[in-house]
Every structure is written in C-alpha cells, then in structure tokens.
Structure 1
Amino acid sequence: MNLFADIRALVNEALASMAAEGMLPEGLDLANVTVEPPRDPAHGDMATNAAMVLAKPARLKPRDIAEALAAKLTDDPRIASAEVAGPGFLNLRLDVSVWQSVPKAVLTAGTEFGRSQMGQGQKVNVEYVSANPTGPLHVGHTRGAVFGDALASLLAYSGHEVTREYYVNDGGAQVDVLARSVYLRYLEAHGQKVEFPDGTYPGDYLVDVGEALKAKVGDAYIGKGEEVWLSEIREFSTESMMNLIRADLKMLGVEMDSFFSEKSLYGTGLIEAAIADLDAKGLIYRGTLEPPKGKVPEDWEPREQTLFRSTAHGDDVDRPIKKSDGGWTYFAPDIAYHYNKVTRGFDALIDVFGADHGGYVKRMKAAVSALSEGRVPLDVKLTQLVKLYKNGKPFKMSKRAGTFVTLRDVVEQVGPDVTRFVMLTRKNDATLDFDFAKVLEQSRENPVFYVQYAHARICSVLRKAVEAGIAVDDATLAEADLSGLTHASELAVAKKLAEWPRLVEIAARTHEPHRVAFYLYDLASDLHALWNRGNEEPSLRFLQDDDAAASQSKIALARAVTVVISAGLGILGVAPAEEMR
C-alpha cells in the first residue's frame, strides 16, 4: 500500500479521462504531476499541482483545469472533497474509511510494508569509511560509517542491489610512515628506549602491534636497515590496522561486502588501462595549468604536465595525473579505482567522504562521467564534523589514539544504537553536536529515547493484552473492525503511518537517510500524543475494560506503529526496544 502513489494514479486516470473527453489536449506529459501532503495540514490531507503544471502546455487557465479535475476526483469514494486553492492548487480530503484501512494494510504486509521496488535492477556501489589504515577510526569516521551504512540499507530497502565497499588506502607514503612507527614500537618491545619524530604515529594503539611483530619475527629486524624490514612490516602493520578497523566497525554494527586495496592498482596495469581509456577519448594531453587563483605562491613556475581534461565533464580546471618525476599523482589511482567500479557493472556510484574532501568532488565526478560516457552517475556525500560535548561543555576523553577521540571511545560510552541514531539526527552536510549527557537523557528532547519509548510502550500494551486473554497476533488484529477509529488523535497516527512508503522512496531517491530518523520521531510524537490523550479520555486507551473487540481495533493501530518503527530503525541499524530500563 502506497496511498500517495494510489491517489496520484487516480489523478492521472482523471486527467486521461479529461483528455479523452476533449477537456484537455491528448499526449500531455504527466511526469511532473505530484500528490503530496500540503504545507498546512488545515488545507487537507493531500494536494496536487496537476492544474499548475499542465496549464501552459494545455493553454488553459489553471483554475479551469483544477475545477474540472475536482469534479472527476470526487466521483471516487476515497475522495471526500476536492477544493481549488489560490491560482489552481487542488486540496484533497480523503474519506475517513481510507485512514481506518491503514493499520490493516500495515499488518497484512508486515515487514514488507513500505518496501519499494523503485530500485529494482539497479546495482549501486556505496563506498564509505575508507579511512587510511594507519590507526583506529575516530569520531569523524563514525559519522561517515553510520551515514554510509544507513544509506546502503535504505537503498536495499527500496529495491536496489547494494555493495558496501571500503577502499583501503594502502598504496601511499602514509603506510610507510605507519611501518616506521610500528618498527619503533617493535624496538620498544625489545626494551629499547625510542622517540617518535614528527610525522610518525605515536598513539598507544601501536604498542600491541609492536609486541605482535616481536612475537612473529623475534629480533630479526634489530639493527637492520629499512631495506630489510620496511616492505614486510608495511604489510604486517596494514593488516593489523585493518583488523582493528574491522573490529571497530563491528562494534558499530557495520559490515562491509568488499575491501578494495589501492595497492592492487599498482604494477597490475589497472591505472594504465584507466588512463588509456581517457586518452582514447581525447581527454589526456600535455599542457600547462594556470597558477592558482588568488595569491600566487613564490615558488610557482609554469611547467608542462600530463593532464586530464576534466573541464570537458564539468570540472573547474583540468587535473594533473602525472608528477614531474613521471610518477602518478594521487588522482590517477582514484581514477583507476572508479574505472574498476564502472567495469564491474554498477549503475550508480556513491562515495561518502569527510568534509575535508570538498575540493575532490568535481574532479571525481568528471572522471566517472568520462569513464562511463555519462552512463553512471556518481553522488559524493560529504559528512561534516562532529563536536563532542557533555552537559553543554566541550568534552575531551582519554585518547588512546594519541591525537583524537576514537569510534570505540564513543560506542563504549553510549552504545551502538544511541551512537547510530544520534549520528542521523542531522543532515550529513550539517555539523553535528554530540552531547554525551543529552543522548542518554530520558526526555522528549532526546529523539533516540523518544522513538524507543514509543515502541516499548506498545510492547507493554501487547503483553498486558495477552495477560487479559485478548488475541493480538497480527492476523487477528488485521481483521479487527477499525471503523471505531474516529478520533483526530487516532487518525493522525494512521495518516503518519500512510506516509511511510512515500518517505522511503523520497529518502532513497535523495540519498538522505536522516529523513527516516526525522519521520520516526514524528511518528513517535503522534503515538505519545494519542497515549497521553487516553489518560484524559478513557475511550482512547488501547485496552478497553471488558471489550476485547474495541481493544483489538485500537491495538491494531498501535501494533502497526511498531511494525513501521522496527522497519525504520532497521534501516538505521538500531534495534527496537521491547522495554525501557
């Protein structure tokens, strides 16, 4: 059941009927006709822009179209009224029986309610986290991990075939620095006193790696030069760090489908193949770039370079792909990696990066556009900073990492469910304030608690109903007489439930999983409002004394709320609470 899609189909049928009767021209494009909630709920249940978007191509006044459309729509028993507003918007009120049917639709569909097939046949690669394997994940990585994982789940929920991928940056100089840092811890494990020069990684997390290296090779590397140990320690250290990162992600409930190694691009011809593909399209050339805009550096000198003509695909400037020494720039393996994604047959690519990658977006989108000849879209999502507080004051924790607060620090403080939900209470490109006191607070101001409390409250009702001998299995509740659900508070819950399928498709289409968190909070608010109203009006309570049939009708509505909350929390990677402690 997707009520908004159903009413949009009804609108389109009415428009087709008007065209058949000569009231509208044949062949009008209905793609931009929408049916959605009005900005002001007082205006009705739904609104359509049909008359506004068709007026110009039909060469008719919007109000004339709207009035004729209103007459057609009110012939349908689902439409209680259709009112023309302003220049030609059409506000619709649905018959109360439509809203009363929503709980049955939810309970009949069960876990399938809200699932969409909009992405059927579409393969999507979502790359996220992709932190350098030089240390544990920090709180910034946490936000990217949660966002990417929820987005991947949302896309899968809407019918896409999703691959969750981590790009292991193990091909650059930073991994050599990691190996040298581990070597120092290795010497320390042998009892030597060491100092960490600037540019190395002094965090305590490498102590265990140094000990593990000692256990593996003994004193084989003591007193030896880098030519003996650098390559092997590099591999050992990278794998050790990736094991640490996998463990951190597991704490957060994140599991990847694929780990792609940057190192696998070198010496295998993959970079050369990607650049050759661009060259064959006339996009690689020798040229000289203009100096950077603004103040020109003192050491700036124009020099001929090998460039990718990224401006042909929307970038601001062309980009170097080779350094002056003939080696590849950092951009070249990134091109090759995305070329690999394109050749793997993905229909869409999504990269989730930190805010510091803003300057990277246009060049990478240009590369993917060129490599796929515009067939494969790339959406780059930037996650902004997370600011840590406790009771409103900046909060600093013990930093085993040496320089930053880790993912593990955060999850150990508040748990994975709270961490994940809170990370999705702001849009990805907005800075997030994470207050360790507030996220554990039991109040309406804490969205995690508020949504979980709604679910737990209903679970309590279900347990009490069973104790009272009332059947509350979904099959029985789906057949309950729901005509008694007439109060505005009850209908508000039903209306919010009906929005779920539409919300899923919008969130999936815009790649915005935070919409799910916002929706769950609104649904919980409507449920709590109904519950509180029941304290004043006994007829609204879910359990009606000595009236099993009335109880079942009201419990059917509540049970439908748990179905949708569970589905939404599942997308966010959060377990619903059966009871609150």
Structure 2
Amino acid sequence: MTLYTRFAAHVDAALDALAAAGTIPADLDRKNVTVEPPRDASHGDLATNAAMVLAKAAKANPRQLAEGIAAELGKLDDVAAVQVAGPGFINLTLTPDAWRGELRAITQAGDDYGRSTTGEGTTVNIEYVSANPTGPMHMGHCRGAVVGDALANLLEFAGHRVIREYYVNDAGGQVDVLARSVHLRYREALGENVAIPEGLYPGDYLVPIGQALAGEYGERYATAPEGEWLASFRTRAVDAMMALIRDDLALLGIHHDVFASEAELQAAGKPEAAEAELRQRDLVYDGVLEAPKGETPEDWEPVELPLFRSTAFGDDQDRPIRKSNGQWTYFGADLAYHYQKAQGADALIDIWGADHAGTVKRIVAAVQALTEGKTRFDVKLIQMVRLLRGGEPVKMSKRAGNFVTLADVVREVGRDVVRFTMLTRRADAQMDFDFAKVVEASKDNPVFYVQYAHARIRSLHRRAAEAGLAEGGADLSRLDTAELELVKLAAQFPRTVETASSTREPHRIAFYLYDLAAAFHAWWNMGNDDPSRRAIQPDDPELTRARLFLSAAIGQIIRNGLAIMGVAAVEEM
C-alpha cells in the first residue's frame, strides 16, 4: 500500500466514524472522493475533496462536514497539521516520518512499486500498428506502435489483462496490387527487363520475394494469365511482408499476441453473423442513402443497401455495411472485426492514425450497438511525425519506395531513443523527430535527461562501493527538508500510473519521469556549490547511507517508469 492509497483508506475510516456517530448517512457513494497533492504546495502535502463531493448527498454544510473529517484525520500519527480551506477543502501536512516511511516502502516494493490493482483483472484488447501488409514499417507507423505498446505495458502494470492485437488487412484491393507488384519482380528475377508502372509498389524490398518465387516456380507463371497466379502470389507476398513487419517491430521491442486476418474473418462468415445479430435488434435495415452533397438527381442513382442505424448512437448518418455488388464495405468488415474482439475482452482500444478521424463515430456507434453499451471502447488518434535532420526535412528512401523505414531510424539512433521520444508529447499533438536533437546530451532532450539521472545514481553507488561505504542500516532521520521534497515527488508515481492508465495516456509517465529527473539533478547540483550537500560524505557515513538510500529509491522509480515505456535504464553514459 502506497502513501496515497493509505491516506485514501484513512479518509474512508474517518467517514466511517462520522457515519457511526450518525453525522452522515452510512450509504453515501464515495467513488468520487480523492486524495491528491494540493495545487498549491504551500497548502500542505495532501488534499481531499471528501466534504465537497459528499455534502449534498449527506444534506450537510460542506465546511462543517470538512471540520468533522479533519478532526478525525488530525488524530493520525502521520499528520502534523490539518486545515479546512474555502468552502470545504481539507489540506493535510504530513510529518517527516510519514515521508521516510514511504521511502522505505519504495525500496521494499522494488520493481512492483507503483503497480496497481485498479484494473481488477479486466481484459483489455489493444489493437495497434495494423499497417497494410504491403511493405516494411515506416516512420508513419512508428508513433502508433510505441504508444500502443507502452499503453499495453501501462495497463498491465495497473492490473489489467492485456491482449496485444494486430489486424492484418489482407482482404482488400491493396493486396492484389501487392501480388501484381511481386509478379513483376518475379519476371525481373527471370531475366526480363521490367518497368514498375504507376499504381504498383516500386520498392526494392519486393525483389527478394520475386527471386524466391522465380527459384521455386521457374518460368511457370511468367506469361500465365493473372487468374492462375494471383491468389498464390498474394498469399506468399502477404506472408513475406508480415515477416518483414514482425522483424521491424522486434527492433522496437514490440511483439503482438494476436495477428487477426481480415481474409480469415470474412471466410469464417463473421460479417454475416454481425449483420444477423444487428438485424434481429432492428439495427440494420435495407434503405437508400441520400445523394452526396453536390450531386444532382441526374448524377445519382439511388440503390437499396443494408444500412446500420449509427444515427441511433450519435453518428451523422446511417452507414452501409455492403456495397451494391454485395461485397462488404470497409465499415462492414470493421464492424464484424470489432464484434469478434468484443467477445473476448471487457474493453477495446484502437490506436489509429489521425487521418482516420472521420471514421471514429461510426465504429464507436457499432461497438456500442454490438455490445449493448457494456464494452468500453476508446480510439486514440496519433498525429504524424515530421522527420528532420538538423532542422531540415529528411529525404525519402528510394529503396523503400519513397518513405523512411523504421528499421533505418532505429539502427541509427537506437530503440530506447525512438521509444522515449515518441512518448514525449501527447499522442494527438504533432511531433518533430530531429535526428540531431534526439541524441543531444542536454537538458532539452528528455531521453538523455532521464537516462542521465539513472546513470548518475548508478555511478554514485559504484563510487560508494569503491570507497568501502556500506549502504545498509540507513538512518533516514538524517535526510533534511530538501531531500524529503524528492521523496514527495517520488511518492506520486503510483498516482501517475493510475491516472495514466484510466485516461489511456502513457505519455504521462514520460512527463513524470522528466520532472523526477529534473528534481534529482537539481538536488545533485546543490553539491557543486556546497560540498556538504554531496551524497557521499566520507567523514559522515550515516548521512552518506541515508542519501544513498534516497538515491537508490529514485533510481528504482526511474527504472519502473522506463519499463512501462519499454525503455532500458542505462548504467552509465
């Protein structure tokens, strides 16, 4: 139990005491009661809104209720002072021993400090990346891949069971284009001089597939009609592309639990099953769409189509699930896919590029309809990343087919740098990725700044060991006010985890780690001007042990946070 959860329990006990005394009803809904740091640090260490959120239901004056709660909390040994502010906020100032106790709790919990049970074992399916299997991963896919993977780590740390899923779009026209592109490379491997026409994939990454097929089939399909080779070439090309994509993702440390095939989904009749389910509930009907804006009656031929009643769930218009030729629309196939996912999870999260913003309403409506509102569904839109080198746009790669490959970027700057950088801004904010900036050794580079804090801590402990200074049996009463301020920030890590997981925002971990690293560096730098502030005091082994204990705890939290982000904590820099 962390300090914040402990004080949440104390507030709960104070409310129980007031209920037992008949001051408030015993059955009040307390789910909105919080314990958190006050917005103004001068107001104390902790604040609770208990009186403010419960007063109306309790039919009590908020300030009077706050006074009653404050009286109960003031009895605690860890509370130095209680103040009721404004209309009923309760601010607590804790004793130094309370913070020293939390410092010990960090060390005792180790890798599990900050781990939460708020997820209560619920299953969350996170679908991320899902790039079309038509080429290697490029930097357009990178940010969503990192955000999705870090979010999966975060939700697991917060007590959820997580399914990491990749949706393979292998049933659309793009895979036929891929097969035709591979067929050209196959003919090229047989000695034919080919030109890649517009509309096919020009990247050299298809050359090895063409060579492999030439070695297997010889001249068999060189001049054969498309109908004889398209299906097999499509399968082989998709398999090869997915192997390439898996390898690229592995460079980022990303591995999925499930690869769901759109082609297999349709072959199994899942879209038909979803349609039948919705028709039974009158949520799919046969109707005619209005003419698109700008179309005249002469230009528009109304066609009866099966339509999903997405307007009943907040969408702008009802949506067709089939085309006039009977084939499934993209929406119809996606509807069936989400229906399949929802049958194995309590909550769904999709990580999409911002260019898919227009389809969010209809998919949210579909999931709400299919699950009767029982399944939480979040769509996280990821903005583009602009690649720069020293402030100048990066040139595209001819080999890859006019894009920068993820593999090339990871090999140049390293996996940790890529992963951390992708989480240094909100996912819905645009980002610049400057190759020069992300490896810069400065405070302005969050990757370096956080890693350097951990490396400094590890260096400190190595130097202490070399000097023969034992670290056990620390007397934490030797830590002063400035050092306990570090503990107060460290103690916020569990709250950050819970907030980040509930909002589905892993970037909050990166922001927190930067703040913690900045506070640690500030504490460290005090020793540059005042030798008595240095962690290692050869003439005062007790103070040294206390400061080593503190720094080790800060290092532990940095490691825990970096692990959620999928970033290694370096030992030296």
**What band does the TM-score fall into relative to the shorter chain?**
over 0.9
Q: Which residue of 2 aligns with 1:372?
A: 371
Secondary structure of the 1:464 match is helix
Q: Distance in 2 between matches of 1:367 and 1:186?
A: 42
1:483-494, aligned counterparts within 5 Å? 483-488=477-482, 490-494=483-487
Per the TM alignment, residue 564 of structure 1 is displaced from its structure 2 partner at its CA by 0.9
State the one-letter code of the partner of 2:539.
Answer: D
Write the distance in 1 (CA, Å) between the matches of 2:429 and 2:38.
Answer: 26
Note if 1:335 corresponds to 2:338.
Answer: no
C-alpha separation in 2, matches of 1:189 and 1:132: 25
Shift of 1:255: 0.8
Q: 1:520 aligns with which of 507, 510, 513?
A: 513
Counterpart of 1:249 in structure 2 is 249
Q: What is the CA distance between 1:296 and its match in structure 2?
A: 4.1
Alpha-carbon separation, structure 1, partners of 2:419 and 2:126: 18
Give the drift of 1:148.
0.4
CA contact (8 A) 2:2 2:102 kept: no
The C-alpha deviation readout for 1:215-241, integer Å capped at 9, x for no partner, is 222222111110111111111111111
Give SS of 1:266's match. helix
- Where do 1:262-411 residues align within 5 Å? 262-292=262-292, 295-296=294-295, 299-343=299-343, 345-411=344-410
What is the aligned partner in structure 2 of residue 444 from structure 1? 443
SS at match of 2:427: coil
1:444-481 CA deviation, whole Å, 9 max, x = no partner?
A: 10000000000000100111111122234xxx3xx421
Per the TM alignment, residue 33 of structure 1 is displaced from its structure 2 partner at its CA by 1.2
How many angstroms apart in 2 are the aligned matches of 1:483 and 1:302?
81
The alpha-carbon distance between structure 1 residues 71 and 268, as it changes in their structure 2 partners (threshold 3 A), is closer
2:479 alignment partner, SS class: coil
Residue 560 of structure 2, aligned match among 559, 562, 567: 567
Secondary structure, counterpart of 2:75 in structure 1: coil
The 4+ residue runs of structure 1 with deviation greater than 6 A are: none
Secondary structure of the residue aligned to 1:434 is strand
**3-state DSSP of counterpart to 1:403:** coil
Question: Structure 1 length as normaliser, TM-score?
Answer: 0.95
Q: Which amino acid aligns with 2:128?
A: Y
Greater mean alpha carbon deviation, residues 299-308 or residues 202-211: 299-308
Q: CA deviation at 1:498?
A: 0.6
Equivalent residue, structure 1, for 2:492: 499
Distance 1:87 1:200 in 2: 68
Give deviations 1:323-358, integer Å, cap 9, x for gaps: 111222122221221222122x21111111111111
List per-residue Cα deviations over 1:57-86 (Å, max 9, x = no partner): 233332222223222211111111122222
Q: Quote the residue 1:413 is aligned against.
A: 412
How do 1:65-80 residues align onto structure 2 when only pairs under 5 Å count?
65-80=65-80
**Match for 2:541: what amino acid?**
A
CA contact (8 A) 2:37 2:45 kept: yes
| Structure 2 match to 1:185 | 185
- The answer to whether 1:482 aligns with 2:490 is no
Give, in whole Å, the separation in 2 of the partners of 1:384 and 1:578: 33
Q: Which amino acid aligns with 2:366?
A: A
Provide the rounded CA distance (Å) in 1 between the counterparts of 2:275 and 2:341: 15
The amino acid of 1:464's aligned partner reads: R
Q: Alpha-carbon deviation of 1:397? A: 4.4
Contact 2:167–2:259 (CA<8 Å) still a contact in 1? yes
Cα distance, 1:19 vs. partner? 2.7
Asked whether the 8 Å contact 1:2–1:502 carries over to 2, the reply is no
Greater shift, 201-210 or 148-157, is seen at 201-210
TM superposition shift of 1:37:
1.3
Q: Deviations over 1:535-557 (max 9, x none)?
A: 22333322111333221111011
Contact 2:2 2:105 in 1 (8 A): no
Instruction: Report the 3-state secondary structure (helix = DSSP H, G, I; strand = E; otherwise coil) of the residue aligned with 1:84.
Output: strand
Kindly provide the amino acid, as one letter, of the partner of residue 6 in structure 2: D
State how far apart, in whole Å, the 2-side matches of 1:275 and 1:208 are.
41
Q: 1:527 to 1:102 in 2, by over 3 A?
A: same
- TM-fit CA distance, 1:391: 2.2
Give matches, 1:53-72, under 5 Å.
53-72=53-72
- Residue 366 of structure 1 deviates from its aligned partner by 1.6
Note if 1:95 corresponds to 2:95.
yes
CA contact (8 A) 2:127 2:350 kept: yes
Contact 2:152–2:162 (8 Å) recurs in 1: yes
**Deviation (angstroms), 1:30:** 1.5
Q: Distance in 2 between matches of 1:300 and 1:88?
A: 64
Counterpart amino acid of residue 414 in structure 1: V
Q: Are the counterparts in 2 of residues 399 and 406 from structure 1 also a CA contact under 8 Å?
A: no
- Determine the C-alpha separation between the residues in 1 that align with 2:299 and 2:6: 65
User: Corresponding residue for 2:166?
Assistant: 166
TM-score w.r.t. the length of structure 2 is 0.97
Whole-angstrom distance in 2 between the partners of 1:531 and 1:267: 62
- Maintained 8 Å contact 2:396/2:402: no
| Counterpart residue type for residue 567 of structure 2 | V
Instruction: Please say if 1:548 is aligned against 2:547.
Output: no
Greater mean alpha carbon deviation, residues 541-550 or residues 275-284: 541-550
Q: Give the secondary-structure state (helix, strand or coil) at the position aligned to 2:388.
A: strand
The change in CA–CA distance for 1:431 and 1:300 in structure 2 (over 3 A counts) is farther
Q: Deviations over 1:357-387 (max 9, x none)?
A: 1122121122222222222121111111101
1:209 corresponds in structure 2 to 209
Q: Distance in 2 between matches of 1:261 and 1:439?
A: 36
Residue 170 of structure 1 deviates from its aligned partner by 0.5
Distance 2:398 2:25 in 1: 69
2: CA distance, partners of 1:296 / 1:161: 49
In structure 2, the residue matched to 1:29 is 29
- Paired residues in the alignment total 572
Is 1:125 paired with 2:119?
Answer: no
Q: Please give the alpha-carbon distance, in whole angstroms, between the structure 1 residues aligned to 2:33 and 2:528.
A: 43
2: CA distance, partners of 1:321 / 1:495: 54
Contact 1:305-1:320 within 8 A present in 2 as well: yes
Answer with 196-205 or 565-574: which moved more. Answer: 196-205
Deviation of 1:300 (Å): 3.4
Deviates more, 1:164-173 or 1:6-15: 6-15
Q: Distance in 2 between matches of 1:510 and 1:291?
A: 39
CA contact (8 A) 2:479 2:543 kept: no
Percent pairwise identity = 57
Measure, in 2, the Cα distance between the counterparts of 1:524 and 1:60: 44
- Residue 475 of structure 2: SS of its match in structure 1? coil
Shift of 1:399: 4.1
Corresponding residue number in structure 1 for 2:571: 578
